[in-house]
């Protein structure tokens, strides 16, 4: 695990952390420019030095200001992938990958090359690669140093949309296949949605929220970041059954379930779904006959006005579901915190 308990002042900005991050999966570091995202991973990597506090990785002290301990970057066993790939231009892809490769990673070279889809590139020079290809090589090079932690500082920021779409599946595959925790800096909601297990939200150098993606995404902290048309809920579900006659799959959501278009995923597999707030309508009684397949019992947690619409936060078991309705509908239905009702869901997107 990564223990962060430090304060660092850079110019007029102060970064203050007191969190413990997991030793597995992808933790997204999210916030606007200037929030402290890059400053955080620079402190972890050893590129900058906090004035007070400690940074501890897997029980190894990387920084301890009081005891004047500060390991140099090369002693930290941390991989770092920058916005620009920073490959050695005079080395082939193979040479870049082998540069700094740990001895115990020699047997993993072919597997990692295959996971990143860079085998056809091994004998080429960086100047002949696309932006997405360069970043895949940079990620491979960082992983071949056998790091205990991989830092990625907006690795897709300099890529155009087609190259971003090209690289995302490789990152998703790495997250499943390798046992190296990653800190992924981004201000892209789409990247976080597809990659993150946990999210740490920074604002002006302080942590506004930290937790599982589903919890943070559904919290009021994230609400201002989401454009009105993207207000949504992220839910972790498991595959319950495939309909015997229709191309539909049932997903378990606590003791209730949702039907979605059939997905080729084994029973009991877990995945994430995304439900747009605009695709959720509310009724006080379950309808007797309706074309909508998904009707969930829910409790109103809170509701508030937002530019002529009403955002309603619902509790479905221990999950959060958002709905967007009109003030007229709120008043007519008497919607207020504590009210039990039914949420009708028109559309469900599978995100991961």
Whole-number percent of the chain with pLDDT over 70: 99
Boundary of a domain, candidates 225, 254, 272 = 225
* Residue 231: per-residue pLDDT: 83
Q: Are residues 171 and 243 in the same domain?
A: no
Q: Are residues 100 and 159 in the same domain?
A: yes
Boundary of a domain, candidates 225, 244, 267 = 225
For 197, phi then psi, to 5°, come to -95, -40
Residues with Cβ within 8 Å of 239's Cβ and at least 6 positions away in sequence, in order, are 249, 250, 251, 252, 263, 265, 266, 267, 268, 269, 270, 271
* Residue 221: per-residue pLDDT: 83
Q: Does residue 167 register a pLDDT over 90?
A: no
* Residue 170: per-residue pLDDT: 80
What CATH number does residue 234 fall under? 2.40.50.100
Confidence of residue 151 (pLDDT cuts 50, 70, 90): very high
Q: Are residues 238 and 215 in the same domain?
A: no
Q: How many domains is the chain built from?
A: 2
Q: Are residues 16 and 87 in the same domain?
A: yes
Helix ranges (DSSP H) in 178-315 = 189-195, 213-217
Mean pLDDT, all residues of the chain: 89
* Residue 111: per-residue pLDDT: 87
Boundary of a domain, candidates 176, 205, 225 = 225
Tokens describing residue 137: 């090589």
CA–CA dist 4, 136 (Å, integer): 28
Of 95, 190, 96, 175, nearest in space to 138 by CA: 96
Q: Does residue 314 register a pLDDT over 90?
A: yes
Confidence of residue 152 (pLDDT cuts 50, 70, 90): very high
Q: Are residues 129 and 202 in the same domain?
A: yes
Question: pLDDT tens digits for 94-134?
Answer: 999 999 888 888 888 888 898 888 899 999 999 999 888 89
Residues with Cβ within 8 Å of 284's Cβ and at least 6 positions away in sequence, in order, are 333, 341, 342
Question: pLDDT tens digits for 223-278?
Answer: 777 777 678 889 989 999 999 999 989 999 889 999 998 888 889 988 888 899 99
Rounded (5°) CA angle 7-13-14? 15
Compute the radius of gyration of the chain from its Cα atoms.
23
Question: pLDDT tens digits for 50-94?
Answer: 999 999 999 999 999 999 999 999 899 999 998 888 899 999 999
Q: Are residues 171 and 47 in the same domain?
A: yes
Neighbours of 165 (CB within 10 A): 13
Q: Are residues 174 and 241 in the same domain?
A: no
Q: Are residues 190 and 317 in the same domain?
A: no
Residues in the chain: 352
Q: Does residue 350 register a pLDDT over 70?
A: no
Q: Residue 321 in contact with residue 276, Cβ under 8 Å?
A: no
Of 101, 169, 177, nearest in space to 135 by CA: 169
CA–CA dist 69, 94 (Å, integer): 36
* Residue 352: per-residue pLDDT: 53
Question: pLDDT tens digits for 26-50?
Answer: 999 998 888 889 999 999 999 999 9
Q: Are residues 196 and 244 in the same domain?
A: no
- Helix (H), strand (E) at residue 282: strand 280-283
CA–CA dist 230, 320 (Å, integer): 16
Q: Is 213 helix (H, G, I), strand (E, B) or coil?
A: helix
In terms of residue numbers, what domain contains 300? 230-350
What CATH number does residue 72 fall under? 3.40.50.300
């Amino acid at each position: 695990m990564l223990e962060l308990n430090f304060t660092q002042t850079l110019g007029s900005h102060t970064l203050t952390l007191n969190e413990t991050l997991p030793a597995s999966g992808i933790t997204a570091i999210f916030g606007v420019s200037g929030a402290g995202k890059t400053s955080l991973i620079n402190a972890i990597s050893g590129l900058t030095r906090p004035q007070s506090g400690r940074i501890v990785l897997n029980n190894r002290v990387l920084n301890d200001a009081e005891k004047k301990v500060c390991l140099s970057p090369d002693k930290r066993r941390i991989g770092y992938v920058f916005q620009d790939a920073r490959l050695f231009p005079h080395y082939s892809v193979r040479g870049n990958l082998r540069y700094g490769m740990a001895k115990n990673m020699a047997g993993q070279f072919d597997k990692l090359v295959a996971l990143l889809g860079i085998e056809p590139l091994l004998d080429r020079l960086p100047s002949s690669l696309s932006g997405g290809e360069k970043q895949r090589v940079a990620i491979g090079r960082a992983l071949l140093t056998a790091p205990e932690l991989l830092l990625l500082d907006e690795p897709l920021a300099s890529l155009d949309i087609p190259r971003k779409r090209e690289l995302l599946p490789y990152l998703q595959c790495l997250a499943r296949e390798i046992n190296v925790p990653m800190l992924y800096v981004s201000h892209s909601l789409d990247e976080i949605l597809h990659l993150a297990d946990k999210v740490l939200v920074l604002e002006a150098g302080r942590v506004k929220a930290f937790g599982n993606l589903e919890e943070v995404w559904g919290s009021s902290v994230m609400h201002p970041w989401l454009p009105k048309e993207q207000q949504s809920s992220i839910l972790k579900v498991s595959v319950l059954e495939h309909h015997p006659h229709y191309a539909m799959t049932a997903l378990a959501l606590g003791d209730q379930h949702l039907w979605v278009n059939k997905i080729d995923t084994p029973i009991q597999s877990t995945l994430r779904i995304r439900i747009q707030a605009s695709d959720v309508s509310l009724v006080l009684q379950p309808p007797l006959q309706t074309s909508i397949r998904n009707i969930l019992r829910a409790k109103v947690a809170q509701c508030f006005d937002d530019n002529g619409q009403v955002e309603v936060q619902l509790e479905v078991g221990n999950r959060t579901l958002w709905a967007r309705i009109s003030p007229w509908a709120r008043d007519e239905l008497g919607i207020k915190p504590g009210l039990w009702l039914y949420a009708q869901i028109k559309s469900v997107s599978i995100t991961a």
